[in-house]
Amino acid sequence: MLDTIFNHKSIRKYKDTPVSEKDLQEILEAGTRASTTGNMQIYSIVVTRDNDLKQQLAPTHFNQPMVTQAPVVLTFCADINRFNKWCKQRNAEPGYDNFLWFTNAVIDAMLVAQNCCIAAEDKGLGVCYLGTTTYNADKIIDILELPKGVIPVTTVVVGYPDEDPGLTDRLPLEGVIHYEKYKDYSNEDIDSIYAEKEALESTKQLLEENGKETLAQVFTDNRYKKADNLHFTNVFLDVLKKQDFFNH
């Protein structure tokens, strides 16, 4: 299992080979073995294999080809709908329509998603997280007919890889680990932590392609711009309200 984790790659090109029903069920079952708040399992997974539905979902993920290429698209949702209904049918009044329990449900959904990813990769399949899910959650809700109390928080495509990319760089452990208490970063720490990433050939290529002086500018000016961040924040907050998560 450690080999699987240490060799994780984001796969963006897929063969049209279907994922067997047995493998898919085992991947989903592995997902449900993840830790969960109070053993409440306040999440749901929508499995999309229908080509027409994948075509509908594609624009919500900025038309990344892997959405229609991969044989399986898994949408992981924060879900208090099911648990609320159970409570009410058992003469118990739920109090989970608030931001705290949205956060708990998101944690549940992400833990399940990661379990599914590891299980899929252990079977030789490729996976890729789609961060676009929260950007266009309102549209995904409509397409997948998600009721109130259910919000998509991440999407994972699954299938047999049609590429073999190298491992993506990661910051050194000292950049992300704090022992006993948080130790804030000095200017020297920041320089040291990001030195290897900034020296990569891929970084130099990015700077040239984007006409930027630093890699940080590629993130702030090109990839994740403040104006876009604020726009999608407002869209997502509106989704939380409409889905009865953020009214209290």
Q: Per the domain annotation, does 64 fall within a domain?
A: yes
Q: Quick check: is 181 in a domain?
A: no
Q: What is the pLDDT of residues 159-187, one digit of tens each?
A: 999 999 999 999 999 999 999 999 999 99
- Whether the per-residue pLDDT at 248 is higher than 70: the answer is no
Both tokens of 162, joined, read 């049609």
Q: What is the pLDDT of residues 62-75, one digit of tens each?
A: 999 999 999 999 99
Residue 52 lies in a domain: yes
Quick: pLDDT tens for 195-217.
Answer: 999 999 999 999 999 999 999 99
User: Rounded to 10 degrees, what is the CA torsion of 91, 96, 101, 102?
Assistant: 120
Tens of pLDDT, residues 44-68: 999 999 999 999 999 999 999 999 9
Burial class (CB in 10 A: 0-12, 13-18, 19+), 193: middle
- The pTM for the full model equals 0.95
Please tell me the total count of domains within the chain.
1
**Backbone phi, psi, residue 116, to 5°:** -60, -40
CATH number of the domain where residue 39 is located: 3.40.109.10
Does residue 63 form part of some domain? Answer: yes
Q: How much is the pLDDT for 237? A: 94
pLDDT of residue 152: 98
Specify the 3-state DSSP secondary structure of 200: coil
